[in-house]
Amino acid sequence: MTGHIIGVDVGGTFTDLVCMDERGNARIAKVPTTPENQAFGVLAAISKTGIDLAARRAPPSSWIMAAPGRWARLAVRTAA
| pLDDT, tens only, 41-50 | 998 998 899 8
Distance CA 10, CA 24 (A): 23
**Contacts of residue 35, Cβ cutoff 8 Å, sequence gap at least 6:** none
Strand order of the β-sheet with 4-10 is 26-32, 14-20, 4-10, 71-78
Instruction: Identify the bridge partners of residue 18 per DSSP, sorted by sequence position.
Output: 7, 28
Q: Where are the beta strands (DSSP E) in 1-80?
A: 4-10, 14-20, 26-32, 71-78
Task: List, for residues 29-69, the tens digit of each pLDDT value.
Answer: 999 999 999 999 998 998 899 887 654 444 444 444 444 55
Specify the pTM. 0.72
CATH topology of domain 4-78: Nucleotidyltransferase; domain 5 (3.30.420)
